[in-house]
Chain A
Amino acid sequence: MRRIGRGGALRHARLQLALAVAAIATSVALPVVLVSVGGGVAAHELADLESAGYQIVVSASGLHGIEGAHTEADWILGHVPSVIAASPILSISVESFNGTGAIAPVLAEGVVPRQFSLTLGPTEADLFPNPLPLGDPNDSVHFANGSYAGPVTFDALVSTTYAASYRVGPGDTILLSPSTNKSAGVSFHVTGTFGIPFSFFQPAGAYAVLVPLSDLQSLTNYSNGSGTIVPDAADSIEVAVTGAASTSPGTLASIASAIQAKVPFYSVTTLSQEASELRSAAAVLTGFYLGLSSVGLAIGVLFLALVLLRRVESGRRSIGIRRALGLPPWRIAGNVLEEGFVLAASGAGLGVVGGYLLVEALASWGSSTVREAAGLAVFSPIELAEIVLGLVALSLLASVVAARAALRVDIVEALR
């Protein structure tokens, strides 16, 4: 039976309702964005772990903290049963100078080509040429048993994104330097590209180069000799085992133990352990997001309560008339609760849609990091329903406060 008529008071009432819905929508959109993007990134990381071509990771606590990476990887490969590959990886941000003179920071990954290829999972394998065209497949010639006295290949693969941005391709050279000082740099031959083919219509990848491990170590002072920061350094060694052993948790645990005995100062974990830790971390993070969002939800609900109380206050006469006519108290309270529910449900619906559109907008127009994260967002119906139900439940509490105020309206006073 309710109608919206004309007049300033009604316009004012409409504005109040619109603001209440907007406040609720904003407070719902925030958790929708946080939970969907956070959950999506975590799910992507898990998928990466589950599709990896290696099963065990050796890592050090400090940055680039594994010492004697070539030696340790060779030992693991040669002495631990069932191991088919041990790939040390060093990741360092360096500066690149290309033929046009442009300078750009780029993530350089130093790898042992053959071992790296063997530890690629099925989805990653398609992103790299096989074999990797990086000269010495075992990175042993330049390394020369830790002397770094052998001939250097100076070969590099560049990511498709970098190649497209700086028009660099096989046959070109780029100069990589550990600092913005070009004279400290070394020229590398571009022998190929890796990553998804570049397209304007899909998310861009990172600026990255792949070079032989020993080359990157020499370039960044992580090789050997006087003044070296960490000799023969790497960040991690990824270990792949044979098919049968790779699916047996017990076998993987015993292989990890054997490696741990050789490198007691490093962390040795299986990917299933890492996945479990990641799931725990993701759950904690989701809880944190929801906790953070509850502040926004509380503000939205508080605003709703204020609007409803204001409407009760401005509608005292109307409430007084209804009560004077004999409408039962539950019906007066029911009207306020119904109004609160409709506002909360409308705001929550708009918030979910708004959150979704915001994530889509971030995936299209955000900075590269934001685009990448937003592109991974997962909209879980269960989590969205939990957010909406939580909001509606809180809103009903706010409506109860307003309904109690409506029931306290004195009829005689209201009609005076």
Chain B
Amino acid sequence: MTAGRPPAVELAGVSRTYGEGTPEEVRALRDVSLRFAPGEFLSVEGPSGCGKTTLLNLLGLLDSPTAGELRWNGESVGRRTDRERARMRLEEVGFIFQRFYLLPMLTALENVELPMAASRVPRPERRRRASALLAEVGLAGRERAYPHRLSGGEEQRVAIARALANRPGLLLADEPTGELDSTNAAAILDLLARVRADRKATLIVVTHNPDVAARASRHLLMKDGGIASDRTDG
């Protein structure tokens, strides 16, 4: 894999079942086959419990398929060791969560520095890059603020800056505007669209919001763990 260049992602007959063989068995994803071209902007829609987040977790190597294969640039990556998947997440994937998931004991700057520190970027370099990223998302001057001092929109901006810290090729966003008002949501969507275009990264957004989905060029609709439709704009 090459950090910074979006991987060509492919799912071949991927299923994910929780509690397999138990009375509580849940088939969250059923035999899904998809290809994502590098640099695509994709929305994933569907009702609650249809498997959107499970798909995102598998794409981001947070979870492993129980059947089928997940490939990045043709290489099978779905069942690699914890250590290898952690390294790939660190270098290739940027996560943006609905509830931001900033670490409350770290400042905005330190939150953005965290992935770079794990990648052993020297301190002065990571401090400089983290400050630049915060400025890029419109938070210049808020570097020393702790998350509880930030508004929801500001927290999500910090989370986006953190997701971009190691220059990933694959950006995965799970309901990125779900906790924001419409003004902040629009601003965050503008920001995501801009950083994707600037970095030519693949952006996959899970959403219930038609406004968010409308920004994407390809639209997946999921139902009962499967792909109900896969539509690309004009």
Chain A interface residues toward B at CB < 8 A: 1-7, 10, 317-318, 321-329, 331, 411-412, 415
State the interface size on chain B (CB cutoff 8 A): 31
Instruction: List residues 80-105 of chain B with CB under 8 A from any CB of chain A.
Output: 82-83, 86-91, 93, 95, 97, 101, 103-105
Interface of A: prevailing SS: helix
Chain B CB count within 10 A is highest, among A2, A326, A412, for A326
Judge whether A5 and B146 touch: CB under 8 Å: yes
Asked if B12 is at the interface (CB within 8 A of a chain A CB), the reply is: no
Instruction: List residues 27-78 of chain B with CB under 8 A from any CB of chain A.
Output: 57, 60, 62-63
Contacts of B175 in A (CB 8 A): none
Contacts of A322 in B (CB 8 A): 103, 114
Contacts of A412 in B (CB 8 A): 57, 62-63
Judge whether B162 and A325 touch: CB under 8 Å: yes
Judge whether A328 and B118 touch: CB under 8 Å: yes
Interchain CB contact (< 8 A) of A3 among B93, B105, B115, B166? B105
Assembly CA distance A329 to B87 (angstroms) = 10
Interchain CB contact (< 8 A) of B114 among A4, A325, A328? A325
Judge whether A3 and B90 touch: CB under 8 Å: no
Contacts of B113 in A (CB 8 A): 1
Assembly CA distance A318 to B147 (angstroms) = 13
B166's nearest neighbour on chain A, judged by CB, is: A326
Judge whether A329 and B105 touch: CB under 8 Å: no
Contacts of B166 in A (CB 8 A): 326
Assembly CA distance A3 to B115 (angstroms) = 18
Asked if B148 is at the interface (CB within 8 A of a chain A CB), the reply is: yes
Contact A4 to B105, CB < 8 A, known contacts A328-B83, A328-B118, A331-B118: yes
Asked if B155 is at the interface (CB within 8 A of a chain A CB), the reply is: no
Judge whether A325 and B115 touch: CB under 8 Å: yes
Judge whether B117 and A1 touch: CB under 8 Å: yes
Interface of B: prevailing SS: helix
Judge whether B148 and A6 touch: CB under 8 Å: yes
Judge whether A1 and B118 touch: CB under 8 Å: no
Chain A CB count within 10 A is highest, among B87, B113, B118, B166, for B118
26 contacts between A and B (CB under 8 A): A1-B106, A1-B113, A2-B105, A3-B106, A3-B146, A5-B104, A5-B146, A5-B148, A6-B148, A10-B105, A318-B103, A318-B105, A322-B103, A324-B89, A325-B90, A325-B95, A326-B90, A326-B93, A326-B166, A327-B114, A327-B118, A328-B87, A328-B90, A328-B118, A329-B83, A412-B63
Assembly CA distance A412 to B101 (angstroms) = 13
Interchain CB contact (< 8 A) of B103 among A4, A321, A326? A321
Assembly CA distance A323 to B115 (angstroms) = 10
What distance in Å separates the Cβ of B62 from its nearest Cβ neighbour in chain A? 5
B110's nearest neighbour on chain A, judged by CB, is: A1
Assembly CA distance A411 to B58 (angstroms) = 12
What distance in Å separates the Cβ of B166 from its nearest Cβ neighbour in chain A? 8
Assembly CA distance A325 to B106 (angstroms) = 15
A332's nearest neighbour on chain B, judged by CB, is: B86
B168's nearest neighbour on chain A, judged by CB, is: A326
Asked if B107 is at the interface (CB within 8 A of a chain A CB), the reply is: yes
Assembly CA distance A1 to B105 (angstroms) = 9
Instruction: List residues 166-217 of chain B with CB under 8 A from any CB of chain A.
Output: 166
Contacts of A327 in B (CB 8 A): 86, 90, 114-115, 118
Contact A326 to B89, CB < 8 A, known contacts A3-B146, A412-B57: yes
A1's nearest neighbour on chain B, judged by CB, is: B110
Assembly CA distance A1 to B146 (angstroms) = 12
Interchain CB contact (< 8 A) of B105 among A5, A324, A331? A5
Contacts of B62 in A (CB 8 A): 324, 411-412, 415
Contacts of A324 in B (CB 8 A): 60, 62, 89, 95, 101
Interchain CB contact (< 8 A) of B86 among A1, A7, A321, A328? A328
Assembly CA distance A7 to B101 (angstroms) = 17
Judge whether A326 and B101 touch: CB under 8 Å: no
Judge whether A321 and B110 touch: CB under 8 Å: no
A411's nearest neighbour on chain B, judged by CB, is: B62
Nearest 6 pairs between A and B by C-beta? A326-B90, A326-B89, A327-B118, A321-B101, A1-B110, A411-B62
